[in-house]
Structure 1
Amino acid sequence: MQGIIIKGIGGFYYIKTENEVVECKARGKFRYLETPPMVGDKVEISIAKGKGVIEKILPRTSELFRPQVANVTQAFVVFALKNPDLNFELLNKFLIQCEHKNITPVICFNKIDLVDEFEKEKIHETFKGTGYKIEYLNAKSGIGVNRLVSRLTDNITVLCGPSGAGKSTLLNKLLGKNHMETGSISEKIGRGKHTTRHSELIEVHSGLVVDTPGFSTLELNYIQKDELKNYFPEFNDFDTHCKFRGCIHYKEPGCKVREAVDNGKITKQRYDFYIKYLQEISERRNNRW
């Protein structure tokens, strides 16, 4: 029997099959193979004496480790425009992760009531040429939420972003009920309290949504220097026209990406982040023993 893991708690996994949800344990072989089951995994199970056992994990199309979920096709990358202030560096790291995992990101800017139109346009301009879909929301009041509903169909969607951005509130609106406890913002530090206890797949509007904990840091130590450029889609139209094959768009002469930045076709803010992270990768490699 096949199904998909919709929840995992305390060593138990809940598998949604065609007709029911089955509670299962995983065979010990998965621990030895260092491939424990993840929420989102498609699995084969057996049932004996009323107890389910995961026998096989089918090949994954994608993997995320923070949050830990498999086979995601789409990410609602949720960031508040204010309270807490928008962290562009963290947002760019989330987008790089999506690109690396072949997951389609939808940038969801929440709390639009806290900024004016000028600020909103300035933020929108930052992602010029990326092709990313951008939605502006006030999850608390429901503004913009309906635009996200049609994006759920036939997708496994993860809500990710920093604590306090409004992910819990957004999910509650998508579900039409209070699925999760929502956290308040600490006035002292301006960060959200962690309120989600485990990852779970929830059926919403003919799709599956992953309810995940909020977090505020994201490390991308697996990204290599020569591949980083591949995760900036605005570079694609210019990369192949660079003078040198394998150009990493830093100091090489005849670089068409740098030329596009100078001409305003690629935003300087995104390019500056690219260079900063490129240098971090180089320093990390040089510091290895």
Structure 2
Amino acid sequence: MQGKIVKGIAGFYYVNVGGDKVYECKAKGIFRKDNVKPLVGDDVEIEVIDDGDFTGNITQILPRKNQLIRPPVANVDQAVVLFAIVKPDPNYNVLDKFLIQMRKNNLPVVICFNKQDIASPQEQQELMDAYEKCGYEVIFISVHEGNGIDRLCEKLRGKTSVVAGPSGVGKSSLLNRLHPDAEMETGELSKKIHRGKNTTRHSELFYISSLSSEDEKTFIFDTPGFTSLTLKDVTIDDLPTFYPEFEPFEPSCRFGGCSHIAEPDCGVKNALSEGKISKVRYDNYKIIYNELKNARPAWK
């Protein structure tokens, strides 16, 4: 029988095989032997142990279209990174690191800023200038009042999207608005596995029926919140390539391979001084550059 993993907790994987049929499964030992861990979003083959209790074993993980490490999910079409405009103020370091991760995975990103109802027009414009002008789509919403939700829904329709961002920015509230049964489903599952339901502590995949049709299925990953990110497999030489707004100005740099930090006659720094590149983005680029530089192992 074939299905999709919609949740994984404490070694148990919950596999939706169609409609509302979900089997509680364990992964075969062969996966541990091969150092392969099933991920939420995986399409899998299962063998049924008990059809009455809906239990089984995962016997095969079907080929993945892609996979992410943070959050750990598979088969994603796009990422929706959710931050608050205020309360809490956006952490640009975390936001840019998330964008770098998604760009490294060739995954399209929609940046969604919540709490529009309590933010000033100036605060919104600053975020728009920083991120939309460098090629990212930016949507402002208020989950509380419903502003901007229709526009976001059109971006979600027919896709499997991972929604990720720091704790406290409204991810769970957004999911409950898009999929009102999510809270009920989570509560029922919590009773079954004897766990409390507070904040999201694991990734879970929800089918959004209101945005789906026979031809277009819409899924959303709800993922744990985070407050920091560590970039893996990114070097200081790679870093400028993850800032697409730098590219038009790099031919004006005097030196090939310019880091855009201390070199003279730097096209990127000249563009910054002329207001053509966001100071918010550039300042954070320097922070990440120094983090990567200081993390490099010293020569022995």
Q: What is the TM-score with the length of structure 1 in the denominator?
A: 0.85
Which of the residues 275, 286, 292 maps onto 1:275? 286
Counterparts of 1:133-212 in structure 2 under 5 Å?
Answer: 133-177=137-181, 179=183, 195-204=199-208, 205-206=211-212, 207-212=218-223
Q: Which moved more, 1:203-212 or 1:38-47?
A: 38-47
Partner of 1:238: 249
CA-to-partner distance for each residue in 1:162-216, whole Å, 9 max, x for gaps? 11101111111111456279xxxxxxxxxxx961143211011231101112221
Counterparts of 1:110-129 in structure 2 under 5 Å?
Answer: 110-129=114-133
Partner of 1:263: 274
Q: How many residues align?
A: 278
Look up the equivalent residue of 2:177 and give its one-letter code.
Answer: K
Look up the equivalent residue of 1:63 and give its one-letter code.
Answer: Q
CA distance in 1, matches of 2:291, 2:166: 22
Look up the equivalent residue of 1:22 and give its one-letter code.
Answer: Y
Look up the equivalent residue of 2:24 and give its one-letter code.
Answer: E
Q: CA deviation at 1:27?
A: 1.1
Counterparts of 1:51-70 in structure 2 under 5 Å?
Answer: 52-70=56-74
Q: Is the 8 A contact 2:117 2:145 kept in 1?
A: no
CA distance in 1, matches of 2:272, 2:49: 62
1:22 aligns with 2:26: no
Root-mean-square deviation over aligned CA pairs: 2.6
Q: CA deviation at 1:49?
A: 6.0
CA distance in 1, matches of 2:270, 2:31: 50
Q: Which moved more, 1:242-251 or 1:220-229?
A: 242-251
CA distance in 2, matches of 1:247, 1:61: 35
Look up the equivalent residue of 1:153 and give its one-letter code.
Answer: R
- C-alpha change, 1:245 and 1:91, in structure 2 (3 Å) is same
Partner of 1:6: 6
CA-to-partner distance for each residue in 1:44-76, whole Å, 9 max, x for gaps? 333466453322223333322332211222122
1:223 aligns with 2:229: no
The structure that is helix-richer by fraction is 2
CA distance in 1, matches of 2:257, 2:10: 47
Q: What is the TM-score with the length of structure 2 in the denominator?
A: 0.82
Q: Is the 8 A contact 1:194 1:214 kept in 2?
A: no
Q: CA deviation at 1:274?
A: 1.0
Q: CA deviation at 1:109?
A: 0.9
SS in 1 for 2:35: coil
Partner of 1:187: none
Q: Which moved more, 1:1-10 or 1:23-32?
A: 1-10
Structure 2 unaligned segments of length 5 or more: list them. Answer: 186-196, 213-217
